[in-house]
């Protein structure tokens, strides 16, 4: 009896892949990897499935096992609108664009004509950023500072932060800004500098906070570093909101 394979959370397609490491069928390599429970478990001992060495797939409609192609040799259905014979990737979602990059040696999200491969960063980026992005050797082959997933092999969109060279998932950046964090988690360079309007709002908060400061530290002086202008201010009176005397920003740390 053939064991049914659960639906895939990552891709739409009409076939399953036989993992070359354990011989079990999975909807995709990510489903295999998500099922990994450690080298001492009863499951597969390999954490990351070798997508390139998949030699057998199985049609979801007629259950015919066959070599990786995009049309079933038995019932003739098409497995997906996109098929990569190198990565053995199938994607039938009409709202997703995918292409294979030979230099990345993997399939990437997006439209090929709208992207380019940076040989220094070793990643595909949007053409709009070709002349403006900051190159750093192999910078994209690192983990996202928020979700800690590897950026180079990520299946979701990534972007470079505007004022430093570090990359992050676009969705993770939205979460970061939503939580009122405004600096790169890796180097603390501001993603967004404080606006004049924000500074004026914090000026009011700082004034109101003065009465909340305990008497024994009201005259205490501290040194702060501004993350917006990178200047250090010495000997300023302590407040719960620390204002840079150079640029006026409150994006500071003691």
Task: Tell me the per-residue pLDDT of 173-196, one tens digit each, with 9 for 90 and over.
Answer: 999 999 988 999 998 999 989 999
Strand pairing report for 115-118 and 252-253: unpaired
**pTM for the full model?**
0.73
Q: What is the DSSP string of the chain?
A: -PPPPPPPSS---SEEEE-TTT--EESSHHHHHHT---TTSSS-S-SS--GGG---EEETTT--EESS-SB-TTT--B--SEEETTTTEEE--TT--EEEETTTTEEEES-GGGEEEETTTTEEEEGGGTTTSPP-TTTTSSB-TTT--BSTT-SS-EEE-TTSS-EEEHHHHHHHHHTT--B-TTT--BSSPPPHHHHHHHHHHHHHHGGGS-GGGTT-EEEEEETTT--EEEEEE--SSPPPTTT----EE-
pLDDT bin (cut points 50, 70, 90) of residue 99 is very high
Q: Where are the domains of the chain?
A: 1-96, 101-178, 196-253
Mean pLDDT for the stretch of residues 132-154: 85
Which pLDDT score is estimated for 65? 96
pLDDT of residue 6: 72
| Residues 164, 134 contacting (CB under 8 angstroms) | yes
Structure tokens at 72: 């079933």
For residue range 150-163, list pLDDT tens digits in order: 888 887 888 888 88
Give the architecture-level CATH label for domain 196-253.
Single Sheet (2.20)
Rg of the chain taking only CA atoms, in angstroms: 25
**pLDDT band at residue 3 using 50, 70 and 90 as cut-offs:** low
Does residue 1 have a pLDDT over 60?
no
> Is the pLDDT confidence value at 146 over 80?
yes
pLDDT at 217: 83
Percent of the chain with pLDDT over 70: 98
pLDDT, tens digit (0-9, with 9 covering 90-100), for 23-78: 999 999 999 998 888 888 888 889 999 999 999 999 999 999 999 999 999 999 99
Question: pLDDT digit string (tens) for 111-136?
Answer: 999 999 998 888 888 898 888 888 88
């Amino acid at each position: 009896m053939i064991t049914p394979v659960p639906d895939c959370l990552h891709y739409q397609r009409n076939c399953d892949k036989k993992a070359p490491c354990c011989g079990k069928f999975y909807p995709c390599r990510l489903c295999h990897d998500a099922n990994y429970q450690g080298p001492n478990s009863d499951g597969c001992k390999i954490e990351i499935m070798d997508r390139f060495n998949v030699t057998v797939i199985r049609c979801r409609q007629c259950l015919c096992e066959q070599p990786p192609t995009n049309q079933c040799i038995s019932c003739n259905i098409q497995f997906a609108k996109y098929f990569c014979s190198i990565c053995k990737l199938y994607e039938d979602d009409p709202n997703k664009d995918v292409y294979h990059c030979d230099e990345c040696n993997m399939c990437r999200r997006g439209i090929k004509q709208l992207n380019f491969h940076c040989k220094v960063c070793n990643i595909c980026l949007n053409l709009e950023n070709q002349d403006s992005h900051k190159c750093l050797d192999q910078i994209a082959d690192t983990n996202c500072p928020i979700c800690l997933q590897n950026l180079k092999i990520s299946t979701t969109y990534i972007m470079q932060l505007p004022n430093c060279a570090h990359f992050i998932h676009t969705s993770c950046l939205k979460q970061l800004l939503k939580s009122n964090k405004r600096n790169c988690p890796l180097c603390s360079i501001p993603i967004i500098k404080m606006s004049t309007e924000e500074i004026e709002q914090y000026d009011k908060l700082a004034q109101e906070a003065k009465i909340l400061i305990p008497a024994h530290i009201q005259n205490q002086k501290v040194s702060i570093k501004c993350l917006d202008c990178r200047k250090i201010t010495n000997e300023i009176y302590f407040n719960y909101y620390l204002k840079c005397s150079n640029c006026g920003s409150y994006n500071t740390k003691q």
